[in-house]
Amino acid sequence: MNDLDRVIHEPARLLIVALLAGVKEADFLWVQRESALTKGNLSSHLTKLEESGYVEIEKTYRGKIPLTMLRLTRDGRAAFDAYKRNMNGLLRKAAAR
Q: Give residues in contact with another protein (CB under 8 A).
A: 11-12, 14-15, 18-19, 21-34, 39, 62, 65-69, 84
Least distance from another protein to the Cβ atom of residue 49, Å: 16
Question: How does 55-81 read in b/e, with b if 16+ C-beta sit within 10 Å?
Answer: bbeeeeeeeeeeebebebbeebeebbe
| Whole-angstrom distance, CA of residue 45 vs CA of residue 56 | 13
Least distance from another protein to the Cβ atom of residue 93, Å: 19
Q: Are 73 and 58 in contact (CB under 8 A)?
A: no
Least distance from another protein to the Cβ atom of residue 14, Å: 6
Neighbours of 91 (CB within 10 A): 10
Q: Pick the closer one to another protein by CB: 26 or 82.
A: 26
